[in-house]
Structure 1
């Protein structure tokens, strides 16, 4: 039998527990006087900052940031179709990255009842070092899968070894439907409010992070 060109796809994925959790918190205030609203939101945000910096000093928060004060005004309409006096809205957004889900849950339970505090969604992720290492490992394993698949085809055809001709991320050798980007980390998280009669506590349960890679390869089977 003459040489045969074999084109295959190799896939691999790894599932890891998140190493970090980044949460966004907004502190808001509103009222009829701009100066009073600004003063109030600054006072409400201060204990939130202090609670974050205290945990950073203790090692449970690895990084945090605070955006500038944002102020806007709006003139609402009453039920008679008349514009009312301006209402001022002020907000300060903060983000904090926790090293452990348990520490995040405790902190959220502490600050969630505070006046003006609004908790946002949580971004579960890995450290950059872990992401880079696992992406390399997953990509290499995807290539090994492609080689093994091509060799299996060659053996079934009664041929010998396969020689690589081309290898690329999925879709670059031949047009294919849209696929997840090779090596892309996907993070999913869920925030569940406790159903306990006492209420008030927040429990965060992160899903695993999936890092996947898909390659296409073309071999010559002899």
Structure 2
């Protein structure tokens, strides 16, 4: 037996607690007069903005943003099929990134009862550096598992030398054996809450996983 082609899959995952939580809040107002609706929306938004900036100064909020005031008008229909006078709607969106879950819960519990304030979803995530480090570690571990599997198969066949030919994301490996080594391993998936945002104040661990397919020649 001179040479055998071995194709394997390597998988690995790591779990870590979220480091950041970004909450989305919308302030809304509506009414028959455009100017009064705008004024009301601005007035309702002020304590929300103040609460965020105070927490940023205290260190529990690391970043926040606010979109410009959005205003639209709709003319509803009555039961007789006639259009009524316009109704104006105004809204201002906020997002704030917290580093303290307790402070986030306290703040949300307070503003959720305020008139005109809608608390949206919370995105649990990691810092960019932590995410990049984990992706690298998990991808390397997945490749290592693929290499060990290939070596085990080769040993079972009485072969000693295993040479990598192709490593790729799942589903991307070619059907034909490549003539030379190719390194394309980048199969890292971050299963975070920002994929499927939900309002949760006790987050589950974020799962970072990687799956690679690898092809080797064994001698």
Q: CA deviation at 1:100?
A: 2.0
Q: Is residue 10–residue 213 contact of structure 2 (8 Å, CA) maintained in 1?
A: yes
Show the counterpart of 1:211: 208
In 1: Cα distance, 2:32 partner to 2:20 partner: 40
Which ranges in structure 2 are unaligned for 5 or more consecutive residues? 176-185
In 1: Cα distance, 2:136 partner to 2:155 partner: 29
Report matched runs for 1:1-222 at 5 Å. 1-174=1-174, 182-188=187-193, 190-191=198-199, 204-222=201-219
Give CA deviations for 1:82-119 in whole Å, capped at 9, x if unaligned. 11110000000000000022211111011111111001
In 1: Cα distance, 2:170 partner to 2:119 partner: 39
The number of residues matched between the two structures is 206
Q: Is residue 187–residue 210 contact of structure 2 (8 Å, CA) maintained in 1?
A: yes
TM-score by length of 2: 0.90
The runs of at least 4 consecutive aligned structure 1 residues that moved more than 4 Å come to: none
1:102 aligned counterpart, secondary structure: helix
In 2: Cα distance, 1:205 partner to 1:51 partner: 22
Give CA deviations for 1:20-73 in whole Å, capped at 9, x if unaligned. 000110000000000000000000000000000000000000100000000000
Q: CA deviation at 1:190?
A: 4.8
In 2: Cα distance, 1:116 partner to 1:85 partner: 22
TM-score by length of 1: 0.89
1:171 aligned counterpart, secondary structure: coil
Q: Is residue 123–residue 198 contact of structure 2 (8 Å, CA) maintained in 1?
A: no
More displaced stretch, 66-75 vs 104-113: 104-113
